[in-house]
Amino acid sequence: MKTLPEIFQSNSPVISIEVFPPKTEQGDRSLFNMLDRLAQYKPAFISCTYGAGGSERTRTVDLCQRIQQQFEIPTTAHLTCVGSSRAEIIDILNSANAAGVKNIMALRGDAPEGAQTFEATEGGLAFANELVQLIREHFPEMGIGVAAYPEKHTEAPDLPTDLKNLKRKIDAGADVAFTQLFFENDNFYRFREMYEQAGCHIPLVPGIMPITEFARIKRITALCGAIFPDELASRLEAVQDDKQAQMEIGVNHAIAQCQDLLNQGAPGIHFYALNKSRACQQILDALDLS
């Protein structure tokens, strides 16, 4: 299985699909059916998110291993610093390595439910750059992805400060940066200019979440701090009782965004697919990357 640097050597756009580990058997079946449908588009890799604590810790690596076995597509296991000491993080990395998972999305994670701010666990890590450094020290061959925020991370005082912190992750050895979801390409282009001027040299991959339901996307954007354009919001509001129409508007918006991003030199698209295939299929059909 390829590592992220090997994958991004490609001349064609790198398409990746992000999924989350389901909590039920039904969810599990539906995820694998979804992946079965999307596998025909030959995504370069599938990434699996990480939830904090307990049994959730092993779920991500297990899911990555199953996806690699079933579809022969490389995976990237997300990993956060939430609730784990350095030793526990190293344990997880060892299991990823033993399972043949060659890439890690190295994240700090969010404050656990009920807590106002993120606090490092005793003996744990405070920021994602420390996680990147730890992975590089112990697993020099691993591919490492990190998060980037074209519209600023919610806790950062301003974009230049946030960018300096992103640079710390790159200097610590990250291979590729994947952005938070956004709906206005101009915000991505402005950020990319600052990114390049700051001496960030690794691929910067836009993250796109196709809108399938207005209510859901409003909740998600409120949580992650993505800017929702007024014009798009009013179009969706006008059809708030018609889910099919919402999906159509959302998919068309995503198609236009992706086409423009690829025309403007984005190295690929990272799809936040939310374990659903229909919107991604429609977008990938329209992009016709074959």
Ligand X SMILES: Cc1cc2nc3c(=O)[nH]c(=O)nc-3n(C[C@H](O)[C@H](O)[C@H](O)COP(=O)(O)OP(=O)(O)OC[C@H]3O[C@@H](n4cnc5c(N)ncnc54)[C@H](O)[C@@H]3O)c2cc1C
The residues, ordered by sequence, that sit 6+ positions from 2 with a Cβ below 8 Å of its Cβ are: 44, 45, 74, 102
Please give the C-alpha separations between residue 43 and each of 20, 74, 111, 156, 229, in angstroms, as whole numbers.
16, 9, 31, 32, 29
Which residue is associated with the tokens 């390049």?
A: 196
3-class DSSP state of 272: strand
Q: How far is the CB of 288 from ligand X (least distance, A)?
A: 25
Q: Which stretch binds ligand X (CB under 6 A): 67-75, 83-91, 150-158, 249-257?
A: 150-158
Q: How far is the CB of 156 from ligand X (least distance, A)?
A: 4
User: Nearer to ligand X by C-beta: 179 or 246?
Assistant: 179
The residues, ordered by sequence, that sit 6+ positions from 168 with a Cβ below 8 Å of its Cβ are: 127, 129
Q: Which stretch binds ligand X (CB under 6 A): 2-10, 96-104, 107-115, 231-239?
A: 107-115
Q: How far is the CB of 42 from ligand X (least distance, A)?
A: 21
Task: Read off the tokens for 56.
Answer: 């959730």
Which residues lie across from 268 on neighbouring strands? Answer: 14
Q: Does 102 bind ligand X (CB under 6 A)?
A: no
Q: How far is the CB of 208 from ligand X (least distance, A)?
A: 11
Give dist(CA 204, CA 174) in Å, integer. Answer: 11
Q: Which of these is catalytic: 6, 18, 122, 155?
A: 18
Q: Tell me the number of residues near ligand X by CB under 6 A.
A: 23
Q: Does 162 bind ligand X (CB under 6 A)?
A: yes
Give dist(CA 83, CA 120) in Å, integer. Answer: 8
Residues 204-233 interacting with ligand X (rule: CB under 6 A): 207
Give dist(CA 82, CA 89) in Å, integer. Answer: 10
Tell which one of 64, 147, 200, 261 touches ligand X (CB under 6 A). Answer: 147
User: Nearer to ligand X by C-beta: 82 or 247?
Assistant: 82
Q: How far is the CB of 190 from ligand X (least distance, A)?
A: 17
The region, left, alpha or beta by phi > 0 then psi within -120 to 50, assigned to residue 125 is beta
Tell which one of 75, 80, 103, 246 touches ligand X (CB under 6 A). Answer: 80
Residues 163-192 interacting with ligand X (rule: CB under 6 A): 165, 168-169, 178, 180
Up-side HSE of residue 104: CA atoms within 13 Å toward CB?
Answer: 30
With residues binned 3-state (H G I as helix, E B as strand, rest as coil), the percentages for the chain, rounded to 5, are: 45, 15, 40
Q: Does 281 bind ligand X (CB under 6 A)?
A: no
Residues 24-63 interacting with ligand X (rule: CB under 6 A): 49-50
The radius of gyration computed from the CA coordinates of the chain, to the nearest angstrom, equals 18
Q: How far is the CB of 200 from ligand X (least distance, A)?
A: 13
Catalytic status, residue 18: yes
- Give the interface with ligand X as residue ranges (CB under 6 A): 49-50, 78, 80, 105, 107-110, 127-129, 147, 153, 155-156, 162, 165, 168-169, 178, 180, 207
Catalytic (active-site) positions: 18
